[in-house]
Structure 1
């Protein structure tokens, strides 16, 4: 419920209480608590996720897959509880129909979980590419993104600098699944399903974002942008939210009787103190360019505010005299602000001076753009000056100043002070590019989705197709406005598709030598047409013939590998050059490291007893910065890697503490113990480091994530 609506409800409650009708007040309160305002949809529509790859065991909820060669029917969506397992056959009890039982082969079962059920995920490495030396790794996770986000909360809660997502657009063209079914235009619940799906993931994403300063970027088209905007306002009520219109194909999509569609939209959600950086142009046209100012003098602006509302009294302490020497025309002093009821002609001028007030051309009293203390400080530094003009025998004095951005540029060195005028004001000259404020309509050749999305993937992965990829340079531009000044930024994309976001992050690193990291999460789904074809051939999800054609295996991983190595999957040098910013042959590759994981589902009891360390190990490495060696197996005593260490045996605690303390590169220390006191003892001896208790912290993280799913 919006705050304004809550306030109105409270006003009515207070009024009822004043009238002495407590029963009416209670009724109003009850009604307000159950009534939904704003964006209304079925938040809790069931979302069951199949946990492909999970070993089915007693107690699991499962579905029985269709026989090989047959398509799935409604009966294959019925949920069963595994009561027993004997010789590869499971005894099942129906979840929804008490007393109904059946048997099924284990190979025909797939575990399922509701979105709000705790799952305990791990990671299994299935490949890597290394060309980046000691740089951190770009990470690709193949798995259900909701569960991947829960896993990442253990590693990166409150640490992500930027999230860029390009979710399914819900066009009704059966291009995404809900409960393992394609959603089409005839589904009367398709908007609620899409909103429920997005809300659950955005709530987890919010927990991952750095609350001090971070940005969420979400691409969308005309089908859901209005609902998405309302959803973002509800989830991020205290954040600044802006929508950018981005032209992705100037030729447009012709639609009879309608406007030709040329655009998509980008929502930018600014968390905490995050702001949008400057660009090299305004993103819309060629009227402003960051290089046009190099070698030119800085621009002085009139100090009087120009907007219609800027009249005397509109702002406190901004109506005051500026005293100018009558003979030289130079500013001698800044006067004090005067009360609104005091006439300006009652203010006395110093001898030999005249007072300049913020007056409009029609004589109406206005206000200055800054207060007297700021004006005095800037006058002393040479950032304010007077300008005298003579027209028709009349002398006019204008007060000019350097705005805050120019002052910052002077103090940072991007504007050089080459001298001073007679009045002491500075002569400043632009030495480097002057950033340009980007506009909220983008129209750039580099953002063409066909040329720099589809055709680029064709160059990287000949004969492989991916539907509707983003332009590499469009994603690069969007990210640069948020992380250009953060060379060590952590970026997340949990609808990563073809891997454009990771590619763009690596390109940004190439441009400035940064060590930004990107975590890409994608599933390994295949298209509806391929699914029908493979089903007829007798294949299922999990078979090698099925998996090799999935998005992650067929496009995402090969694309990132090709971008780094400069070679196609067939070993041929990639043809063509990168364009626009930072032009060089694509075949040169990128000096980066990347690692690929499959999401796994672990038994919490096995984790608690230390029997699943191999699956948890990559999460420990990720939390420690995704750099250097992974401690892959549990061992006696303790183990030390490049950026973290794990204490397996408490008897070695003293030696562990000494080793970690002597190595400043170790930022994270894990302690395997069931004893809170022992953990606290080790943690107290390692101040300034991230000390984590295993496996309690891991298990608690997933439990909390599940509990938060229903709030």
Structure 2
């Protein structure tokens, strides 16, 4: 079939060629080139009217910087590492994070404005309502800039989760495919927002979505532990290999016949043949065999390894005949290395998260209200997501020491979820939250929630381990007595290991969980710094030395990039030779210090270098990328 758009494009380009012959002045040539570029640009994908924002214009004449609000610092953890709350337009914060955290963020969760047309999306200080003809274009312009930077911040193992509803879901999916890569899309998960939603026509609207993308590596997801009730047997290896099932014979007659796999096996003084018949074995050796005929599944070398390592069982019948079986363990299997040597590989059986996991009520906005109630904020914020949702998403990443970023932080749920996740699984994740201070949200809601989570949060956190799982069906009901007996045994065996053992019925399955309860009575101890975005004007004062002014903001950049507090004795910021000399002559200060962050313009004398080396002080050069581009722009580099 004819590509009509292509033909029209070719006709118009031909017409332009004719016009070029008639009009060859510079202005006309430039105009023709621009028209041809517009005609030949990509024609499939998302197209919108690109809009600029006030913050875009500000970046042309101003340099964003961070200033610490020191009275809001919280230092309650013995760890030297800090979390960060960044107040200001998130585009400015992202612009600076691109300098300090390029390729360093492991998990991003964002809950951007849904653009409902009901005062939830503000563009250039004005709410975008449903009558705005450029409503979607403004939202896409707004999101596009931020997603491009978000992509650059993600590590190669990074994951980004984005909440959205039907108002912009279709547009966001196409935008994210373009920026993050269609091949990096993992899944779009529906989430139940509330039990009873707003009715639109014949339907009650009860859900939104979470889009999931990776930066590059897809093997970064923490799978859920899986218990298979077919694995019932135990041996001396149960602690490391788990239980095993015995449903596979070593010999098969459904395999394509191979003479190399048809050989006698001597085990415990007895000789075995595939199929158990010596006469038929002799016939096969003469070439009288079917296409699929009796043979062993394992070669002799693999059998010897399996036998020596407890993978082989001889099962005998009452008539004295015997057959060889292989054990299939829950958490172990035999593998072969590059040199064809066999080894035992240990890996716990897991199962992926269901695509409809988030439709459970525990992830709904009803829970979010309860989460906010502890902080007295339930009436202050309307669109918060529940802690359980974000905690579950964060814990999807294998790295328990992940750096977590949320640049639409709102009420601060992501910060609380990160800290609770650490308590539950012993992780050491750190968070960076960005939000504006419209109506005092950053100071009065986000910061208050983080402050109270760290200083006085109270809760009982339950961590569970799946001990038994079986499908709830007729077979289970027929064997009810055996199942109940098995559950009683599980409870007795795990009495000391868990605070309690619960039996539940969910998703047509019977499950037994071991549960440990950890009480938090006076907050989840952590460290937090509060930075505000500000500006240094590029061109206002011709006598001003911009580099001198920017040097006042270097400490915040160093602290943010390294997650530290330069006010402690462990670290020292040195931006002048006088500062360096004062430091190295104060031996008591040098002895307490572990790292110095030094301007690249400072040259160490032999004596200064020796003092630092003798006291094992690590030297870190302050990177030029903090403000080098801006200084080149104003002619100071």
Alpha-carbon separation, structure 1, partners of 2:142 and 2:400: 31
The aligned counterpart of 1:46 is 52
CA contact (8 A) 1:141 1:596 kept: yes
The aligned counterpart of 1:505 is 418
Answering whether residue 332 of structure 2 is matched by residue 406 of structure 1, we say: yes
The aligned counterpart of 1:591 is 525
Answering whether residue 443 of structure 2 is matched by residue 566 of structure 1, we say: no
Aligned CA distance change for structure 1 residues 580 and 462 (closer, same or farther; 3 Å): farther
Q: For each residue in 1:401-432, what CA deviation from the matched residue of structure 2 results, as whole angstroms up to 9, or x when unmatched?
A: 668x63499x9xxxxxxxxxxxx999x999xx
* More helix as a share of residues: 2
Per the TM alignment, residue 42 of structure 1 is displaced from its structure 2 partner at its CA by 3.0
What is the aligned residue count?
A: 522
Aligned CA distance change for structure 1 residues 281 and 33 (closer, same or farther; 3 Å): farther
Q: For each residue in 1:169-205, what CA deviation from the matched residue of structure 2 results, as whole angstroms up to 9, or x when unmatched?
A: 1222220111221112222222222122111111111
Please give the residue correspondences for 1:674-689 in structure 2 after superposition, counting only pairs within 5 Å: none
Answering whether residue 579 of structure 2 is matched by residue 610 of structure 1, we say: no
Alpha-carbon separation, structure 1, partners of 2:261 and 2:206: 52
Alpha-carbon separation, structure 1, partners of 2:141 and 2:599: 38
Q: For each residue in 1:201-231, what CA deviation from the matched residue of structure 2 results, as whole angstroms up to 9, or x when unmatched?
A: 11111121113x2211212222222222222
CA contact (8 A) 2:87 2:434 kept: yes
The aligned counterpart of 2:243 is 297
Answering whether residue 603 of structure 2 is matched by residue 669 of structure 1, we say: no
SS in 2 for 1:260: strand
SS in 1 for 2:161: strand
Q: For each residue in 1:230-262, what CA deviation from the matched residue of structure 2 results, as whole angstroms up to 9, or x when unmatched?
A: 222211227532124243346241524343333
Please give the residue correspondences for 1:461-472 in structure 2 after superposition, counting only pairs within 5 Å: 461=376, 464-472=379-387
Per the TM alignment, residue 151 of structure 1 is displaced from its structure 2 partner at its CA by 1.0
The aligned counterpart of 1:459 is 374
Give ranges in structure 2 of 5+ residues lacking alignment.
11-20, 22-31, 275-279, 465-515
Of 199, 205, 208, 1:264 maps to: 208
CA contact (8 A) 2:83 2:563 kept: no
Structure 2 length-normalised TM: 0.65
The aligned counterpart of 1:217 is 161
Alpha-carbon separation, structure 1, partners of 2:90 and 2:404: 15
CA contact (8 A) 1:165 1:494 kept: yes
Per the TM alignment, residue 380 of structure 1 is displaced from its structure 2 partner at its CA by 7.8
Per the TM alignment, residue 454 of structure 1 is displaced from its structure 2 partner at its CA by 1.2
Answering whether residue 462 of structure 2 is matched by residue 517 of structure 1, we say: no
CA contact (8 A) 1:325 1:353 kept: no
Per the TM alignment, residue 479 of structure 1 is displaced from its structure 2 partner at its CA by 0.3
CA contact (8 A) 2:62 2:538 kept: no
Answering whether residue 51 of structure 2 is matched by residue 137 of structure 1, we say: no
Of 393, 397, 400, 1:486 maps to: 400
Task: Give the CA RMSD over aligned residues.
Answer: 5.7
CA contact (8 A) 2:196 2:206 kept: yes
The aligned counterpart of 1:86 is none
Aligned CA distance change for structure 1 residues 401 and 585 (closer, same or farther; 3 Å): closer
Q: For each residue in 1:266-298, what CA deviation from the matched residue of structure 2 results, as whole angstroms up to 9, or x when unmatched?
A: 22222233534345468xxx9999999997513
SS in 2 for 1:174: coil
Aligned CA distance change for structure 1 residues 383 and 185 (closer, same or farther; 3 Å): farther
SS in 2 for 1:519: strand
Per the TM alignment, residue 46 of structure 1 is displaced from its structure 2 partner at its CA by 1.6
Structure 1 length-normalised TM: 0.59
Alpha-carbon separation, structure 2, partners of 1:33 and 1:563: 55
Answering whether residue 497 of structure 2 is matched by residue 551 of structure 1, we say: no
Alpha-carbon separation, structure 1, partners of 2:265 and 2:206: 60
Aligned CA distance change for structure 1 residues 292 and 466 (closer, same or farther; 3 Å): farther
SS in 2 for 1:556: helix
Name the stretch that deviates more: 651-660 or 463-472: 651-660
Alpha-carbon separation, structure 2, partners of 1:663 and 1:159: 31
Q: For each residue in 1:638-674, what CA deviation from the matched residue of structure 2 results, as whole angstroms up to 9, or x when unmatched?
A: xxx52454241279479869999x989856633163x
SS in 2 for 1:187: coil
Per the TM alignment, residue 163 of structure 1 is displaced from its structure 2 partner at its CA by 1.2
Alpha-carbon separation, structure 2, partners of 1:172 and 1:43: 18
Of 167, 185, 189, 2:112 maps to: 167
Aligned CA distance change for structure 1 residues 610 and 517 (closer, same or farther; 3 Å): same
The aligned counterpart of 1:204 is 149
The aligned counterpart of 2:199 is 255
Per the TM alignment, residue 523 of structure 1 is displaced from its structure 2 partner at its CA by 0.6
The aligned counterpart of 1:34 is 40
SS in 1 for 2:549: coil
Alpha-carbon separation, structure 2, partners of 1:375 and 1:702: 65
Alpha-carbon separation, structure 1, partners of 2:249 and 2:178: 40
SS in 2 for 1:200: helix
Alpha-carbon separation, structure 1, partners of 2:448 and 2:267: 71
CA contact (8 A) 2:148 2:179 kept: yes
CA contact (8 A) 2:368 2:385 kept: yes
The aligned counterpart of 2:122 is 177
CA contact (8 A) 1:497 1:556 kept: yes
Alpha-carbon separation, structure 2, partners of 1:408 and 1:700: 55
SS in 1 for 2:381: coil
Alpha-carbon separation, structure 2, partners of 1:612 and 1:289: 66
Q: For each residue in 1:606-660, what CA deviation from the matched residue of structure 2 results, as whole angstroms up to 9, or x when unmatched?
A: 674423444332111122222x4338xxxxxxxxx52454241279479869999
CA contact (8 A) 2:416 2:450 kept: yes
SS in 2 for 1:123: strand
